[in-house]
Amino acid sequence: MIKIKLDAEKIILVIFLVILLFIGPGSIFSHQLKHDFPYGYSASDAFQHQTRAEAIKDAGNFRNEASYISFGLEGLVGRYPPTLYHLAVIFSYASGMEVYDSIYFIVLLFSVVGAAMMYFIIRNFNKNAALISLPLMILIFASPPSMGFSWGHWPSLLAQVFLIAFAWCIVNIELKNSYFLIALILAAIALTHTSEAVFAAIFIAIFFIFKLITGKLEKNSVKNISIGIAAFLIVSSYYLIIFMNTWAKAQPYSFSVMPAWEGNPGFYIMGFGILLIFIVIGIVFSLLKIKDIHAALIFAFAMLLSGFLNYAGFDTRAFQIRFFWPIYLSVFFGFGVYMIMKILIKQWNQIYSLAVLFVFIMPLIGLIKIPLVPYYENNGFQGLMDPYHWDALKWLSEKTEPDAKIYFFYGDIYGQDALLRNSKRTHYQADPKNFVQALQNSSIRKAYVSELPGDSGGRPVVRKRIFDFEDVVSSKPQEFFFGPQNICNFDYLVFDKASQQQALAQYNMLIASELLKKEFIEIVQENKAVVILKNNKVGADCIEERSF
């Protein structure tokens, strides 16, 4: 009998995870594993991560940042936490997926793995609460938390999966030699998105404070965590030196209050709607059991607090934690519902938990719509990229000389400039504001105010010696990054043929036709949306300035 019950629990868990896989990764990927271009990318950050992973695949390692990511500068040290990129490249080799698919797939799939691990964390506390907690986890794929995926907060999300694994390690800290897992998982967190290591530290601090206060601090736990942290520091030291000289200097902690995440679809606690009532009830019952509080509940408290640290200087990092609130706070939800039901039904049976699980899945999955209950909606969306721009970018990366300089005229999607890095060449782009002014003045110019897009996050540096880093970007004059550029000095000129503002596309085409009047300029690639010109006499007078 017991065996059948256990199997039923496992089967339900697996079915739930398949549902999560279907509505999350499946739906976001339009139920296809392979796409002809980056699919479902909705913001520049997504392309930022994709192009870095591509660059690592090309180079074979992440010693340096690719020059086309770094304002055309060579030799900048690879400063972004590397784990996600490496996993994406390795998985790309194994599965035959393109890197742009594998990197997104890894993040999506591991989010489901994270939900499964959270289930086991909660199960360690209470099996019924664990089963009832599952439906809330669906909301990681509902809007707005799902924006974390489509907008490219991928390193943070993967690091949070490792954060859940870390919480699992702490829940199971009494396991023999658990320091081994603690060390490796902490290293994985720090080398995926280092700020999550701070949230792990917050959790561990709260955990030990609770244990100390309640007099339940075991010597073995202290030993395991101490050895684990020491080993983590050894394993991570090489990267942490880079981190301390880049990100830690560029974005040092300073107290600030940031109630709203401007320009981003942040998730707020009221987003749980009436489900918040059950979460609050779970919190209340947890506090009533504070003397015997379980690590699963401490973890949820720590993540609830961490998600509010936008009021204490953690800014976007705190908002990123909220993307996974539906997973972290599911323990409160499951516990809250379970305790209410227990008041009504004294002799609780696991079958009741399964029934409650089913009752909550229906509205949360969107099959039954109930006012004030958030629910999942299909996330299938092509994103910013289209086959024509992708074709043009691939052409530039494969058919142009490695040292070619490329100029992008106005394009609707180029505002998300990291996607231009798919050209794998040093590139400039027309500044839209000045470009519109030029159009309004009816003038064709030789020089347009232009931007040199690149990744300035975390202080780009060259590593001179092990502890010696030189900032080579801040010493450059402002005009290096933004100012008038003579379009005749570029090897390739890229024009969009269509735009939501057709006047801009027509202006693009007018400039292109003027350029083509010179015999040394030719069309080298063209499709429905993009035309690419090659300038065979770089530096020569390539266009006649005039009014039209």
Positions touching other proteins (CB under 8 A) are 10, 13-14, 17-18, 21-22, 25-26, 29-34, 56-57, 60-63, 82-84, 86-87, 89-91, 93-97, 106, 109-110, 113-114, 116-117, 120, 161-162, 164-165, 168, 172, 175-177, 181, 184-185, 187-188, 191-192, 235-236, 238-239
CB of 357: closest distance to other proteins in angstroms? 17
CB of 430: closest distance to other proteins in angstroms? 36
Compare residues 81 and 336 and give the one whose CB is closer to other proteins: 81
Q: Which residues pair with 471 in a beta bridge?
A: 461
Number of C-beta neighbours around residue 113 at 10 A: 13
Query: Which of 78, 397, 120 is CA-nearest to residue 242?
Result: 78
Compare residues 185 and 511 and give the one whose CB is closer to other proteins: 185
For residues 425 and 400, the answer to whether their CB atoms sit within 8 Å is: yes
For 463, the 3-state DSSP assignment is strand
Compare residues 114 and 326 and give the one whose CB is closer to other proteins: 114
Compare residues 46 and 191 and give the one whose CB is closer to other proteins: 191
The single-letter code of the amino acid at 405 is K
Compare residues 192 and 508 and give the one whose CB is closer to other proteins: 192
Compare residues 43 and 84 and give the one whose CB is closer to other proteins: 84
- Consecutive H or E run containing 430: strand 426-430
> Residues with Cβ < 8 Å from 499, sequence gap 6 or more?
410, 411, 412, 505, 508
Residue 92 and residue 137: Cα distance in Å, rounded? 28
Query: Which of 106, 141, 178, 130 is CA-nearest to residue 300?
Result: 130
CB of 193: closest distance to other proteins in angstroms? 11
In angstroms, the Cα distances linking 405 to 31, 50, 71, 183, 488 are: 38, 21, 11, 45, 11
* Token pair 């073995």 in the structure block, residue: 220
Provide the 8-state DSSP code for 26: I
CB of 97: closest distance to other proteins in angstroms? 7
CB of 225: closest distance to other proteins in angstroms? 17
Termini Cα distance of the chain: 86
CB of 164: closest distance to other proteins in angstroms? 8
**Strand pairing class (482-486; 521-526):** unpaired
For residues 377 and 27, the answer to whether their CB atoms sit within 8 Å is: no
Length of the chain: 548
Compare residues 75 and 96 and give the one whose CB is closer to other proteins: 96
Residue 166 and residue 122: Cα distance in Å, rounded? 14
CB of 388: closest distance to other proteins in angstroms? 22
Residue 497: is it exposed, middle or buried by C-beta count within 10 angstroms (0-12/13-18/19+)?
middle
CB of 512: closest distance to other proteins in angstroms? 38
**Strand pairing class (426-430; 405-408):** parallel
Compare residues 181 and 297 and give the one whose CB is closer to other proteins: 181
For residues 511 and 409, the answer to whether their CB atoms sit within 8 Å is: yes
Compare residues 91 and 325 and give the one whose CB is closer to other proteins: 91
Compare residues 56 and 542 and give the one whose CB is closer to other proteins: 56
CB of 516: closest distance to other proteins in angstroms? 42
Query: Which of 319, 205, 184, 162 is CA-nearest to residue 256?
Result: 319
CB of 243: closest distance to other proteins in angstroms? 13
CB of 81: closest distance to other proteins in angstroms? 9
